Amino acid sequence: MSLDGPEVTLSMDLRALLDADPHGCALARSVRDADGAIVDFTLVYLNEAGCRFLQRPPEELIGHRYRELWPDTVTDGTLPLYRRVVQDRLPAVRTVYYDRASVSGHFEFRVAPFGDGFVARFVDLSKLTMGSQTRGGTRLYQALDAAFDGFSLLRTITDDTGAVVDFEREYVNQVGAKLAGSTVEDLVGQRIREIAPGTIEHGLFGRIREVAGGGEPWQDQLTTPGTGQVWELKVVRVDDGIVAVSYRDVTQQVGHQQQLERSAAQTSAAADRTEALQTVTAALVAASTPDEVFVALGSVVRPSAGGHGIAVLLLDQGRLVLGYHDGYEDHVVEQLSEVELSHPYPATDVALTGLPRYLCSPEEFAAAQPDPRTAISGGGRAAWAFLPLSTAGQVLGTLVIGYGRPRAFDDDERANLMAFSQLGAQALQRALLFQAQLSIAGDLQRALLPTALPRLDGARHAVRYLPWMRGADVGGDWYDVIQLGPDTAAIVIGDVAGHSPQAAATMGQLRSALRAYAADGYGPAAVLERANALILRFEPHAMVTCCYLELHLGEGTATAALAGHPPPVLRAHGESGPLRLRTGPPLGLRNAKYLDSTFLLPTGCSLVLYTDGLVEDRRYTLDRGLAELCAAIDSAPDDPELLLQHVLEGDVGPSPRRDDVAILALTVDATPSSGPRTARRRFRSEATSATSARRFTRDILAAWGQDQLCEDACLLLGEAIVNAIQHTTGDVEVRITLDRRLRFEIIDGSNRHPQLLPVDARSASGRGMHIIDDIADRWGSTLLPRAGKTVWFELALPSAARDERDGAAGTLHQ
């Protein structure tokens, strides 16, 4: 027979022999490369037992290569073994264990050279008979006798009813017999219940019977009383009426495992202490006031230390004063409220020496205070740690941690407790220093803000200032209310950029300057322009936003100017919204110009001024904050105090806040007279006053619904204002009255009446009065009783008769 060709022909006798073998048999042919080296094998024959073993039909296997059929043979040593058998022409035996979905168990492979290939026979060792007359059985018994573990086979003994009443030992290996303190000859053939109680199986009869009856395999560890040996046992039903018991001495392994567990527990405890220390550190670093430090001590240090009560006693003029407590009974708290340093309470000695003291039981605590009449009670605690709150050589007091049970403080725990107390002392010292700085900063802040605001006739107001106080520096937010006249006032709110003494100083200077400019009669835009010039001269690096409003409560109007500041919110007629005002740049910029805006203040309306810290920060947009503020004002009461409370308690703006907040609310109660609507403003004798007067006129007429008269009115008012500025000195007042006609009055300090002078194409002046004479329905001038005059003109309303205007034009009153 040859294996060289593509086909293999087996003799009938050989095929019959291989086909009849109860174990798997296979023939394979070598696959060689160009150099003649064996690179693979092709399966050319497989008997029926081999197909059952592999659980695949022959057509899927015969004719295919090993690398294709079993890729893992390249790496598990199988393919190299076959190659050596063919090359060396020597048979080989290999025993393997497979645990696969298709194949599981111990197998023996016998391989012999056959032509240019090999013949392999594979035997499932689990199918070998256990009889001593078989070679496989002999080998198996020898292997079991040489094993490290004890092994027994037990056969069930049943009564007439079929119930298991005992077990007979059919086999025991040498190790098993030795572990049982006997010999194989003595144990084989004996029943469990006849064997001395010292054997392992004797005390497990019920468990073995349960497994023999079809139960699940059982495995557990048992400790022998007296010797302390630990055994690992496993009981398995291997056949009907046959139970296998394996056992081994795992005392050393269990001891090693327990040592590892103790080491792991110590490592875990160290990790827990480190984590607790990190948690305490994080909590105390975040605390910036003494109260926050105390809360951190109570909520973090006490649980981390495992305590059931905590008290912080601070040194104060030769005594210990209770600064904080948690978990202590009321009568103990009363006793700890004030403790003289001469008292034997252990905390006093710790505060004096700076050394910790640990009392592990109530007896030790009682011994520390021998006089029961003066002793401070320990409450429900049974152990105490008295720890010095010391840092940088200074003892601040004593940290007392009480425990509910007696406790032995080991070195690691004492080191951890001292670390807690040192961290607490450092945090407390920082907090006390910070509190002192805050107190100074708060005093400075209150000194820079107005101590009392004037009461206004016709309006109620309320203010709030919420310092951020992240550091000890004061902020630059401020507010003010300035009384200008019986029914006029200015309200101001602003923000100097930054948190520093310099920002606070700038705020104080600017607040005083604004008051001075307002008292001097300047309008809102002029006040901001002069304030900007002041900052550029004396604080060139400062940046300030400001909102300045001039209220005329008697007539129900207001004029505002903005310098880079968020607009006020007006609530009127049941609706709230930011005012649309002309906005200029922040104060502190060169060549900045500011324009004022005039609007109506209806009776019952509410006006809210605020700084940007209320509605925005880097993460919170102004639009979002304004929308929330308007919604809160919509639902707020009319009373200014309640309105502010409602806004500040509502969901308005960023939280937590990262900037100071100043907020001012004003509710208008004044009711304008029932006569004609009027509005008046005073302008300085300056060239820019004509522009300001025309802007004031446009706003008022738009608010009154007289937009059609705006162009004519502004033209005539401008000419009259220019004429007054050129020929008089001092301020000029403009009064606008809306009745049957629209009347303008321009009041100045001159007694000189305006005149209609002849003009021609070459005239450089004199045309203004001709324009007034031509456009106005009526105009004239009137001397005032003491000094000065009033120049007035009237325009007919759009609904008035056109001929009435024509007939009255040109009249001049002396």
Predicted confidence at residue 445, as pLDDT, reads 62
- Asked if residue 180 lies in contact with residue 199, where contact means CB atoms within 8 angstroms, the answer is yes
Percent of all residues in the chain with a pLDDT value above 90, rounded to a whole number: 43
Instruction: Check residue 541 and report its DSSP letter.
Output: T
Q: What is the mean pLDDT of residues 9-18?
A: 78
pLDDT at 699 exceeding the cut of 90: yes
Concatenated DSSP letters for 167-216?
Answer: EEEEEE-HHHHHHTTS-HHHHTT-BGGGS-TTSTGGGGHHHHHHHHTTPP
Give me 338's structure tokens.
């004030």
Q: What is the 3-state secondary structure (H, E, C) of 720-753?
A: HHHHHHHHCCCCEEEEEEECCEEEEEEEECCCCC
What is the end-to-end Cα distance of the chain in Å, rounded?
151
pLDDT at 226 exceeding the cut of 70: no
Ramachandran angles phi, psi of 116, nearest 5°? -90, 55
- Least confident interval from 124-128, 526-530, 574-578, 607-611: 124-128
Is the bond preceding residue 372 a cis peptide, omega within 30 degrees?
no
For residue 353, the surrounding DSSP H or E stretch is helix 346-353
- pLDDT tens digits along 754-798: 877 777 666 556 677 888 888 999 999 999 998 889 999 999 998
Percent of all residues in the chain with a pLDDT value above 70, rounded to a whole number: 84
pLDDT at 132 exceeding the cut of 50: no
Pairing relation of β-strands 557-563 and 583-584?
parallel
- pLDDT tens digits along 184-196: 767 777 787 776 5
3-state secondary structure of 472: coil
Predicted confidence at residue 40, as pLDDT, reads 93
- pLDDT tens digits along 508-529: 889 999 999 999 999 999 999 9
Q: What is the mean pLDDT of residues 148-170?
A: 83
Instruction: Check residue 659 and report its DSSP letter.
Output: S
- pLDDT tens digits along 273-314: 666 667 767 777 777 778 888 877 777 666 655 667 889 999
Q: What residues contact 649, with CB distance under 8 A and at least 6 apart?
A: none
- Asked if residue 564 lies in contact with residue 584, where contact means CB atoms within 8 angstroms, the answer is yes
Most confident of 98-102, 438-442, 744-748: 744-748
Q: pTM above 0.75?
A: no
- pLDDT tens digits along 420-432: 888 888 888 887 7
Predicted confidence at residue 730, as pLDDT, reads 83
Long-range contacts, 365-374 (Cβ 8 Å, 24+): 368/344, 369/344, 369/345, 370/344, 371/344, 374/343, 374/344
pLDDT at 347 exceeding the cut of 80: yes
- Asked if residue 240 lies in contact with residue 224, where contact means CB atoms within 8 angstroms, the answer is no
Q: What is the mean pLDDT of residues 463-481?
A: 77
Predicted confidence at residue 251, as pLDDT, reads 82
User: What value does the mean pLDDT of the chain take?
Assistant: 83
